[in-house]
């Protein structure tokens, strides 16, 4: 990779705005509460930021912005889940610890990209 991308962050895979709701914590069902989230896929983690106003790369550099939460993708499961919402383009991410999230976008191409990118990270970790 180039010196420029190294000073950016070498392991960044993807970042963008998605609608998010957590629907389970440790296997316990939670009440849905959708909200926009700035989602960053970096290394083995999906990191959620609350403030969708800060969408520049510097906003999620370590130290510059505090993540709302973070998900370890190792052993996670990803499924399309249009049966779990009236919204379109919904997928469910389940962690090994039994946390479940729904992620959604109105833009078909965008949600497919997210699904494929997260899935490829999960599969890479499965092979390690």
* Least distance CB 31 / ligand I3S (angstroms): 6
Min dist CB 65 to ligand I3S, Å, is 27
- Beta-carbon contacts of residue 119 (< 8 Å; ≥ 6 apart): 78
Residues in the site for ligand I3S, rule: CB under 6 A? 31-32, 34, 85-87
Q: Note the helical H segments in the chain.
A: 3-8, 108-127
Strand-pair partners of 36? 19
The DSSP symbol for 11 reads: T
**CB closer to ligand I3S out of 90 and 121:** 90
* 85/62 Cα distance (integer angstroms): 33
Name the residue nearer to ligand I3S (CB basis): 14 or 87.
87
The dihedrals phi and psi of 111, each to the nearest 5 degrees, come to -70, -35
Residue with Cβ nearer ligand I3S (82 or 120): 82
Instruction: Name the residue nearer to ligand I3S (CB basis): 40 or 78.
Output: 78
Closest CA to 60 of 21, 12, 121, 111: 12
Smallest distance, Å, CB 92 to ligand I3S?
11
Query: In the bound complex, what is the minimum distance in angstroms from residue 105's beta carbon to ligand I3S?
Result: 13
């Amino acid at each position: 990779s180039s010196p420029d991308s190294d000073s950016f962050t070498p392991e960044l895979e993807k970042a963008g705005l998605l609608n998010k709701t957590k629907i389970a914590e440790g296997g316990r069902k939670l009440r849905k509460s959708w909200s926009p989230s700035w989602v960053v896929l970096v290394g083995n983690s999906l990191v959620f930021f609350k403030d969708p106003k800060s969408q520049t790369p510097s906003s999620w550099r370590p130290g510059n912005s505090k993540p709302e939460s973070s998900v370890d993708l190792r052993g996670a499961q990803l499924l399309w889940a249009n049966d779990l919402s009236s919204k379109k383009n919904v997928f469910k991410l389940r962690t090994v610890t039994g946390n479940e999230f729904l992620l959604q976008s109105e833009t078909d191409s965008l949600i497919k990209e997210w699904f494929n990118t997260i899935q490829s990270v999960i599969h890479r970790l499965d092979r390690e």
